[in-house]
Amino acid sequence: MVDVTPHGADFIPPAEVAEVELYHPHSWWTKYVFSQDAKVIAIQYSGTALAIGLVALVLSWLMRLQLAFPGTFDFITPEAYYQFMTMHGMIMVIYLLTALFLGGFGNYLIPLMVGARDMAFPYVNMLSYWIYLLAVLVLVGGFFAPGGPTGAGWTLYPPQAITSGTPGGSDWGIIVMLASLILFIIGFTMGGLNYVVTVLQGRTRGMTLMRLPLTVWGIFTATVMALLAFPALFVACVMMLFDRVIGSSFFMPAIVEMGEQSPHSGGSPIMFQHLFWFFGHPEVYIVALPAFGIVSDLISTHARKNIFGYRMMVWAIVGIGALSFVVWAHHMYVSGMHPYFGFFFATTTLIIAVPTAIKVYNWVLTLWRGDIHLTLPMLFALAFIVTFVNGGLTGLFLGNVVVDVPLSDTMFVVAHFHMVMGVAPILVVFGAIYHWYPKITGRMLNEAMGRFHFWVTFVGAYLIFFPMHYVGLVGVPRRYPELGETAFIPPSVHTLNEFITIAALTVGFAQMVFLFNLIWSIRHGKEAGDNPWRATTLEWQTASTPPPHGNFGKELPVVHRWAYDYSVPGAPQDFIAQNDPWQPTGGRE
Amino acid sequence: MSAILIFMAGLAAVAIWWLTQQRLTAKPWLEAGSTDAFPRTEAPAIEPAKLGVGVLLAVIGAMFMLLVSAYFMRMAYADWQAPPMPRVLWVNTAMLALASVALQCAVTAAHGGQLGNLRLALAIGTLASLAFLGGQLVAWRDLSAGGYFAIDNPAISFFYMMTALHGLHILGGLVALGRTDLRAWRSAPAGRLTLSVELCALYWHGLFVVWLVLFAVLMGWAADFIDICRQLLS
């Protein structure tokens, strides 16, 4: 045992944080709408993200219908298909996953888990949400703009993004998209400042960095990465707006369009790719790191066992965060680059597999001889591990230049990234919602509906994306709305496409059951009590559920231990809360 | 992308230094303290707001370094022609330096509780910043009067874009500084203004450093410097 009793002049924050420091709501509007309470903001963020995610889900159905039954649906023209594809990708990556993990879970969990009353700057936090909402509304506005939303693909590569052949390229679509992204980044930066400063400054007494739950570590590191990566997207968006609106030539080379010379000359499309992927690759881990953190806590809690290798988990999170800034060009192997560059980026890409694999081993070793409860959160966490390993392995294929070049722009890539950063983080989102819903509403989600949702989603996701790898391996290109009569594509691909579509529609239906469950259980769910999972972290130790404004009672909790004291020998219960002063030798004092 | 990578390496160095102070090698599962004592949180003992502005400056710095990276990348293409830089930029740089110094004096005055000096320093800082923004507009007018419009050449587009983005950040800072001015003139006790003044000063120093980098890049010194380094290396 290491004695960590403070000596001498160590700084100890006060036990009571004055209530006057909090802005208390005075009216219905400031309590539920323009609220500065991080928990309300979290619910606003999550609700908005899920709502816009529903739009993206419907778009994916339309795309799948077109791929399986080309020509059946008159309104899905090739232009419309590209618009659906672009909006689906953009919404899912940025407006759903990033917003939900950082804006939703970050806002709800950070103050509660570190033992703070609220975020460091509640007013800025509120602004963050409203700017995010504005960004979402502007994005949706694209559907109503003349010419419809942009169809440039979620990567928005120039020159095609702003030429007349691309839907929305010479209309409003691309402008609306860029404006929405710029707003999102401004809004996110406001929120991100809050998350970082709250983790650094808002921790309660005894909550050292190495006693933080891994959820907080994941969200914190992802936020730092997002704060540094999003400026790259911001800069790229501003420069592309210049190119599109006033005709400058940052990215645009000289182009003859419909027999007419465009005003541009000499620009570099590759420069956009560098800027975009300098944001785009860290973005993968901005989504993945919070998922890593959350899944660690879910597994530890529901296997009633301390997390294996906590220190290594923290180091791995930080290491992955740092490494992910030096791998961006592996998205650009086919753009042409110096062979040594390709070698460098392939090496860094494969090195990331090391800390990632450490995490996977640690999750599995946490499960080893644990008292595994197959609750809904645990089912989703287990499904995540399997899916993440699956998607990660194909990532090792694609990280190598020689393998990537033939597979690039095939459905294999689509299957890979949907597995690793689509399905896997979404499974964690579901697991986390089943886990924390009792704290947010005071009631459990319906178990039967939850199990139906889990099995259909988990099995269905594999039925969708596993065959898609094979479709890609035979060379079916991505981004094609229709395959037509092509010699190298066997008829079985068409059959598989129909199969995938039916699976996708079924999985989509299961999500409706989930949404129904979310609403139904608010009134009809089983009463949860304060700590239904018998978990150790501070958010479960609040005096009432849902926690009031200010989170804790008069005094902030005092942290005596790390977040993973499950099944400690000799302890009165199979968990010891972080604020429980129990000692193994003398017992409770 | 070398500029942003150097910037990131700098941030990483700060982060690593900070992490080494955080007992990251602790074994929390073995920790035990007496029941009424607990380890301190190791939260840095600075104002949360100051840390917030610091993080914001890092984000702003990353954004401008990305622009600088793009500037150097685009510069390598054949059609690049840098315009002659308006001379008023020198005056503007001096103005922003003055604003930065004045706000630092305001911090000293606020600490000393000298309301008169505080008001004077704040006024000078605000006016110098406004003069800087006005000067940037004059620079834009000079350039366009010389026939250099944003779309003629990427070098000119970069000039307008970088100065505009920097100016917008100064403008945002002026909102905060304006509110501080109002409170100073409403005779709030100087002690209670300290934090606001400190935050403004910190932000201004940051934006001044950003401007110096942009100035060096736009004047072509940074490119010359890189050339010299390349020659030395090869």
CATH number at residue B124: 1.20.120.80
- The number of C-alpha atoms within 13 Å of A377 and in the hemisphere containing its C-beta is 25
pLDDT score for A19: 52
**Angle at CA B49, nearest 5°, toward B46 and B52?**
100
Look up residue A317 and give its two tokens. 């999170």
DSSP H helices, A163-209, are 173-201
Nearest chain A residue to B164 by CA distance is A238
B32 found inside a domain: no
- Which residue of B lies nearest to A11 if distances are taken between CA atoms? B40
Q: Report CB contact under 8 Å: B38, A560.
A: yes
- Mean pLDDT value of segment B54-65: 96
Task: Give this prediction's pTM.
Answer: 0.94
Residue type, B124: I
* Contact indicator for A558, A15 with CB cutoff of 8 Å: yes
Q: Which of residues 115-134 of B touch A (CB under 8 A)?
A: none
Q: How far apart are the two ends of chain B, measured CA to CA in Å?
A: 20
Max intra-chain CA distance, chain B:
76
- Determine whether the interchain pair A266/B32 forms a contact, defined as Cβ–Cβ distance below 8 Å: no
Residue B172 distance to chain A (closest CA, Å): 13
Report the number of distinct structural domains present in chain B: 1
Does the residue B37 lie in any domain? no
The one-letter amino acid at A387? T
Cβ neighbours of B16 (radius 10 Å): 11
- Contact list in A for residue B39 (CB cut-off 8 A) is 4-6, 10, 206, 208
Contacts of A114 (CB under 8 A, 6+ apart): A198, A199, A202, A203, A204, A207, A212, A216, A538
| Chain B residue at shortest CA distance from A323 | B12
Q: What is the pLDDT of residue A543?
A: 87
B76's torsion region: left (phi>0), alpha (psi -120 to 50) or beta? Answer: alpha
Is residue B58 included in any domain, yes or no?
no
How are beta strands A2-3 and A260-261 bridged, if at all? unpaired
Chain B neighbours among A 178-217 (CB < 8 Å)? 189, 192-194, 196-197, 200-211
Low-confidence ranges of chain A (pLDDT < 50): 1, 6-10, 20, 587-589
pLDDT the model gives residue A13: 60
Residues of A in contact with B5 (CB under 8 A): 326
Q: Are A169 and A150 in contact (CB under 8 A)?
A: yes
Cβ contact, residue pair A238, B165, below 8 Å: yes
> Is-contact A439 A539, C-beta < 8 A?
yes
Other C-beta atoms closer than 10 Å to the C-beta of B6 total 12
Q: Please indicate, yes or no, if residue B45 is contained in any of the structural domains.
A: no
Per-residue pLDDT tens for B150-183? Answer: 677 889 999 999 999 999 999 999 999 999 999 8
Report the alpha-carbon distance of residue A226 to residue A98 in Å, rounded: 9
Q: Do A197 and B55 touch (CB under 8 A)?
A: yes
In a domain, B25, yes or no: no
**Alpha-carbon span A281 to A162, nearest angstrom:** 23
Per CATH, the architecture of A33-249+267-541 is what?
Answer: Up-down Bundle (1.20)
Q: Does A13 touch chain B (CB under 8 A)?
A: yes
Q: Read off φ and ψ for residue A588, nearest 5 degrees.
A: -70, 135
Tell me the C-alpha distance between B234 and B225, whole Å. 14
Return the axis-axis angle of helices B190-219 and B221-233, rounded to nearest 10°: 60
H-state helical runs in A246-336 = 269-302, 310-323
- Mapped onto helix, strand or coil, the DSSP state of residue A306 is coil
* Contact yes or no for A310/B36 (Cβ under 8 A): no
Rounded Cα distance between A217 and A211, Å, is 10
Q: Which long-range contacts (CB under 8 A, 24 or more apart) does A567-570 make?
A: A567/A304, A567/A305, A567/A306, A567/A371
Q: Average per-residue pLDDT in chain B?
A: 89
The residue among B18, B66, B69, B168 with the most chain A CBs within 10 A of its CB, best to mutate, is B66
Distance from CA of A332 to the nearest CA of B (A): 14
Task: Provide Rg for chain B, Cα atoms.
Answer: 22
Q: How far apart are CA B103 and CA A552, in angstroms?
A: 39
Alpha helices per DSSP H over A400-423: 401-407, 411-417
Half-sphere exposure of residue A185: CA atoms within 13 angstroms, side-chain side: 25
Structure tokens given for A385? 């591990």
Which has the minimum average pLDDT: A259-263, B50-54, B90-94, B158-162? A259-263
Q: What is the pLDDT of residue B1?
A: 81
- Residue of A1, A2, A117, A195 to mutate, interface with B, max B Cβ within 10 Å: A2
Full domain range(s) for residue B146: 82-233
Are B95 and B142 contacting, i.e. CB atoms less than 8 angstroms apart? no
Distance CA A541, CA A255 (A): 63
d(CA A303, CA B45): 38
- The set of residues, in sequence order, having a beta carbon less than 8 Å from that of A509 and lying 6+ positions away, is A456
Q: Does residue B157 lie in a domain region?
A: yes
- What was the ipTM of the complex prediction? 0.94
Measure B134 CA to nearest chain A CA, in Å. 23
A488 forms bridges with which residues in the sheet? none
What residues of B are in contact with residue A226 (Cβ under 8 Å)? Answer: none
Distance between CA atoms of residues B82 and B68, nearest Å: 14
Are A267 and B154 a contacting pair at CB < 8 A? Answer: yes
Judged against a pLDDT cut of 70, whether residue B33 lies above it is answered with no
* List of residues 6+ apart from A188 with CB closer than 8 A: A98, A99, A102, A103, A128, A132, A226, A230
Contact yes or no for A300/A379 (Cβ under 8 A)? no
Phi, psi for residue A338 in degrees, rounded to 5: -60, 135
> Containing H/E element for A3?
strand A2-3
Among B35, B41, B69, most A C-beta atoms within 10 A, so best to mutate, is B41
Question: Within a 10 A sphere around the Cβ of B112, how many other Cβ atoms?
Answer: 12
Q: Is A239 on the interface with B (CB under 8 A)?
A: yes
- The phi, psi pair for B44, rounded to 5°, reads -60, 135
What chain B residue is nearest to A582 in terms of C-alpha separation?
A: B35
**pLDDT for res A172:** 92
B 41-100: CB under 8 A from A: 41-45, 48-49, 51-52, 55-56, 58-59, 62-63, 66-67, 69-70, 73-74, 77-79
Q: How far apart are the first and last CA of chain A?
A: 19
Structure tokens at B42: 């190791």
User: What is the per-residue pLDDT across A166-214, written as a single tens digit (0 to 9) for each?
Assistant: 998 888 999 999 999 999 999 999 999 999 999 998 888 888 888 999 9
Which pLDDT tens digit goes with each residue over B184-230? Answer: 888 777 667 899 999 999 999 999 999 999 999 999 888 888 888 88
In a domain, B68, yes or no: no
